[in-house]
Structure 1
Amino acid sequence: MGRVVAAALLACILLPVACVRGRNITTILSGYKEYKLYNKYLSETKVCDEINDRQSTSMTILVLRDAAMSTLVSDAGDSLPAIKNALRLLAVLDYYDRKKVKKYGGERADTLFQATGDAVSATGNVRVTDVEDGAYGFASATAGADVSSVTKEVKTQPFRFAILELDAPIEFDGLFDTPSTANLTRLLERAGCKTFATLVAGNPGVLKDYEAAMETGLTLFAPNDAAFMAKGGVPDVTKMSSANVSALLRYHALPAYYPKPSLKAVKKDAALLTLAAKKTISVKANGDDVGLEAGGSKSRVADTVVDKAPFCLMTVDKLLVPAELAVAQAPSPAPAPAPSTSERRPADAPSDEAADHAADHHKAKKSTSSDSASSRPVGAAFAAAVGSVVLAAAVL
Structure 2
Amino acid sequence: RCHVLLQYLTWSDLRRTPPAGALVTTLLQTTGYAPTNLGSLNITFDPTSGVVSLHPLNNSTVSANVLSLLKTVPYNLSIFTVDSLLAPHGVDLMASEAGPPSPPLNITRALIDGHNFNVAAAMLAASGVVEEFEADEGGAGITLFVPTDQAFANLPSTVQLQALPAEKKSLVLKFHVLHSYYPLGSLESIVNPVQPTLATEDNGAGSFTLNISRVNGSVADR
TM-score bracket relative to the smaller structure: 0.5 to 0.7
User: What is the CA deviation profile of residues 117-164 of structure 1, one whole-angstrom value per residue up to 9, with x for unaligned ones?
Assistant: 213223022112345633221020124241111111346899998543
2:111 is the counterpart of 1:188: yes
Aligned match of 1:251 = 171
Paired positions, count: 186
For residue 230 of structure 1, what is the amino acid of its counterpart? N
Q: List per-residue Cα deviations over 1:273-330 (Å, max 9, x = no partner).
A: 5xxxxxxx942566x46xxxxxxxxxxxx77xxxxxxxxxxxx78xxxxxxxxxxxxx
Q: Does 1:148 align with 2:64?
A: yes
Cα distance per residue 1:167-198 (max 9 Å; x no partner): 233222457x9997421124435778612354
Whichever residue aligns with residue 252 of structure 1, its letter is V
TM-score of the aligned structures, taking structure 1 as reference length: 0.35
CA distance in 1, matches of 2:161, 2:174: 23
Amino acid at match of 2:122: L
Distance across 1 between alignment mates of 2:68 and 2:167 = 53
1:1-396 map, 5 Å: 85-88=1-4, 90-92=5-7, 97=12, 99-101=15-17, 104-113=18-27, 116-118=30-32, 119-130=34-45, 133-154=49-70, 163-174=79-90, 181-189=104-112, 194-200=117-123, 203=125, 206-207=127-128, 209-212=129-132, 214-215=134-135, 222-232=146-156, 233-235=158-160, 237=162, 244=164, 246=166, 249-254=169-174, 259=179, 264=195, 272-273=202-203, 282-283=207-208, 288=212
Contact 2:57 2:88 in 1 (8 A): no
More helix by share: 1
Over 3 Å counting, the alpha-carbon distance change for 1:212 and 1:122 in structure 2 is closer
CA contact (8 A) 2:117 2:146 kept: no
Q: Provide Cα deviations, 1:357-387, integer angstroms capped at 9, x if missing partner.
A: xxxxxxxxxxxxxxxxxxxxxxxxxxxxxxx
The answer for unaligned runs of 5 or more in structure 2 is 92-97, 181-191, 214-218
State the TM-score, normalizing by the size of structure 2.
Answer: 0.55
Kindly name which structure, 1 or 2, has the bigger radius of gyration based on alpha carbons: 1
Higher mean Cα deviation, 122-131 or 228-237? 228-237
Tell whether the 8 Å contact from 1:188 to 1:194 is kept in structure 2 after alignment. yes
CA distance, structure 2, for counterparts of residue 157 and residue 213 of structure 1: 32
Report the 3-state secondary structure (helix = DSSP H, G, I; strand = E; otherwise coil) of the residue aligned with 2:111.
helix
Partner residue in 2 for 1:76:
none
Identity of aligned residues (%): 16
Alignment gaps of 5+ in structure 1 = 1-84, 274-280, 290-301, 304-315, 318-396
